[in-house]
Amino acid sequence: MNTKLTLRMDADLIEAAKRRAEASGASVSRLVADYFALLTAEDRHPASELTPRVRELRGSLRGAGLDEDDYRRHLEEQYL
């Protein structure tokens, strides 16, 4: 069941979130919900359970703008 949530934020942050949502083809609500889901996932699986290598690499591609099409092209270039 979806429930309405009101958030108060800086106007510039809201505009940035709207631009990010539009660029990713999602709503701001979806971005917020995904972020909250990540927070609860980290609570269930703390970073301390990750290997040192994975902890080191975690978040290294954040903001890189890569998507499934990029990964598909990489695989085609590598294996075809």
Per residue in 24-70, pLDDT (tens digit) is 999 999 999 998 888 887 667 665 677 888 888 888 878 788 888 88
- 2 domain-assigned: no
- 25 domain-assigned: yes
* pLDDT number for residue 30: 92
How many helices and strands, by DSSP H and E, does the chain display? 4, 0
* pLDDT number for residue 57: 85
* pLDDT number for residue 17: 93
Q: How far is CA 12 from the centre of its chain?
A: 20
- 37 domain-assigned: yes
Phi, psi of 69 (to 5 degrees): -65, -40
- 1 domain-assigned: no
Q: For the whole prediction, is pTM greater than 0.85?
A: no
* pLDDT number for residue 42: 65
- 64 domain-assigned: yes
- 5 domain-assigned: no
- Residue 40: domain span: 11-79
Number of domains within the chain? 1
